[in-house]
């Protein structure tokens, strides 16, 4: 792992996110900025994956984004790891684009294997893909990412129960614990209690990443999670992040969950994240 390189990558991804949502005055910058380190490490360091995209994903690690509204970070990382031209980020949320508001397979965007946006469905899909890997005797792993607020959807708990009961141990599901959802903090909207105890009670191997915006911690955490697979239990990472991380005025609030910066705010935000790999 080259930390400086990863930092530059993450900074450029942040610029992409901000510029994408600013251009169309819509989209979800908060969660995207919060998960930038996770996506950077996952796609640059952890997964064996092939940007010559093949839907079946045979012989490679595959990833599912369940909380599809953080599409900006997903699109930026896919583009910058070679799935499609970086310039295409310019078309985010525009008519006739493959970069829909929420990710979809419908327009054939390379790197996306399922539509998501309506919350709570991604873990079930990831489980199905993990079971297909078992049948195919493919030892690669399935990764998924979920919002914390998203766990309020009941389907997750059907999937969580199924995964442990059936010893699906080739899956690593990460929960983005940023403590925020649209109507406020998760503790105000619907407190979810002790998520670690809940996952453990369902039979998962649960670990934490204390600071999901620290590249080294994310790297070490994902490595650790990988070493825990294949041992009869699905693996869950509870990853603490700061929504809006990397832009001072977007942090410590849920206000930027689904709101784009204006011209002045964009300039301010970009000045905090100077260009590294080149803007699209």
Partner 1 sequence: MKKYTDSGKKDTRSGFGDGLTELGRKNPDVVALCADLVGSLKMQDFIDENPDRFFQVGIAEANMMGMAAGLTIGGKIPFAGTFANFATGRVYDQIRQSIAYSGKNVKICASHSGVTLGEDGATHQILEDIGLMKMLPGMTVICTCDYNQTKAATLAIADHEGPVYLRFGRPKVANFTPEDQEFEIGKAVKLYEGTDVTIIATGHLVWEAIQAAVELHEKGISAEVLNIHTIKPLDEEAILDSVKKTGCVVTAEEHNFLGGLGESVARTLTLNHPAPQEFVATQDTFGESGTPEQLMEKYGLNSDAIINAVRKVMKRK
Q: Tell me if residue 143 falls in helix, strand or coil.
A: strand
Alpha carbon distance 26, 40 (integer Å): 23
**Minimal distance, residue 88 CB to partner 1, in Å:** 20
**Minimal distance, residue 186 CB to partner 1, in Å:** 22
CA 46 to chain CA mean position, Å: 14
**Minimal distance, residue 120 CB to partner 1, in Å:** 8
Q: Nearest CA to 164 among 201, 138, 197, 196? A: 201
**Minimal distance, residue 110 CB to partner 1, in Å:** 14
Q: Which stretch binds partner 1 (CB under 8 A): 99-107, 202-210, 231-239, 272-280?
A: 99-107
Alpha carbon distance 198, 156 (integer Å): 12
Residue with tokens 């997750």: 156
Site string for partner 1, 250-279 (x = CB under 8 A): ------------------------------
Q: Is 115 left (phi over 0), alpha (psi -120 to 50) or beta?
A: beta
Instruction: Find the binding residues for partner 1 in span 116-155 (CB under 8 A).
Output: 116-118, 120-133, 135-136, 138, 154-155
Q: Which stretch binds partner 1 (CB under 8 A): 98-106, 178-186, 198-206, 241-249?
A: 98-106
- DSSP-derived letter for residue 174 is E
**CB burial readout 219-242, b (16+ within 10 A) else e:** bebbeebbebbeeebbbbbbbbbb
The reply on whether position 106 binds partner 1 by CB under 8 A is: yes
**Minimal distance, residue 128 CB to partner 1, in Å:** 2
Among residues 161, 190, 197, 201, which is the contact residue for partner 1, using CB under 8 A? 161
**Minimal distance, residue 272 CB to partner 1, in Å:** 35
Q: Nearest CA to 159 among 125, 111, 205? A: 125
**Minimal distance, residue 31 CB to partner 1, in Å:** 19
**Minimal distance, residue 156 CB to partner 1, in Å:** 9
Alpha carbon distance 259, 26 (integer Å): 6
The reply on whether position 164 binds partner 1 by CB under 8 A is: no
Residues listed for the chain:
280
Count residues binding partner 1 (CB under 8 A): 39
Give 26 or 105: the residue with its C-beta nearer to partner 1. Answer: 105
Give 6 or 129: the residue with its C-beta nearer to partner 1. Answer: 129
The reply on whether position 236 binds partner 1 by CB under 8 A is: no
Q: Tell me if residue 193 falls in helix, strand or coil.
A: coil
Site string for partner 1, 52-91 (x = CB under 8 A): ---xxxx---x-x---------------------------
Q: Nearest CA to 99 among 67, 71, 135, 138? A: 71
Q: Is 111 left (phi over 0), alpha (psi -120 to 50) or beta?
A: left
For binding to partner 1 (CB under 8 A), which residues are involved?
A: 55-58, 62, 64, 104-106, 113-118, 120-133, 135-136, 138, 154-155, 158-159, 161-162, 166
């Amino acid at each position: 792992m080259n930390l400086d390189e990863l930092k530059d990558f993450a900074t450029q991804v942040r610029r992409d996110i901000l510029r994408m949502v600013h251009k169309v005055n819509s989209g979800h910058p908060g969660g995207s900025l919060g998960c930038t380190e996770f996506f950077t490490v996952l796609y640059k360091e952890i997964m064996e994956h092939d940007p010559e995209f093949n839907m079946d994903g045979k012989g490679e690690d595959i990833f599912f984004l369940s909380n599809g509204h953080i599409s900006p970070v997903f699109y930026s990382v896919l583009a910058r790891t070679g799935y499609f031209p970086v310039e295409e980020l310019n078309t985010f949320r525009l008519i006739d684009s493959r970069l829909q508001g929420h990710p979809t397979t419908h327009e054939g965007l390379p790197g996306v294997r399922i539509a998501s946006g309506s919350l709570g469905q991604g873990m079930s899909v990831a489980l199905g893909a993990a079971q297909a890997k078992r049948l195919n005797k493919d030892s690669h792993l399935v990764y998924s990412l979920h919002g914390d607020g998203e766990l309020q959807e009941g389907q997750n708990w059907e999937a969580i129960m199924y995964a442990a009961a059936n010893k699906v141990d080739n899956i690593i599901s990460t929960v983005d614990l940023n403590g925020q959802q649209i109507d406020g903090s998760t503790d105000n909207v619907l407190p979810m209690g002790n998520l670690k105890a809940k996952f453990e009670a369902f039979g998962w191997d649960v670990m934490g990443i204390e600071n999901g915006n620290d590249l080294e911690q994310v790297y070490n955490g994902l490595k650790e999670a990988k070493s825990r697979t294949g041992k009869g239990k699905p693996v869950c990472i509870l990853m603490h992040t700061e929504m809006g991380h990397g832009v001072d005025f977007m942090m410590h609030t849920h206000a930027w969950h689904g709101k784009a910066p204006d011209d002045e705010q964009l300039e301010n935000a970009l000045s905090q994240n100077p260009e590294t790999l080149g803007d699209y």
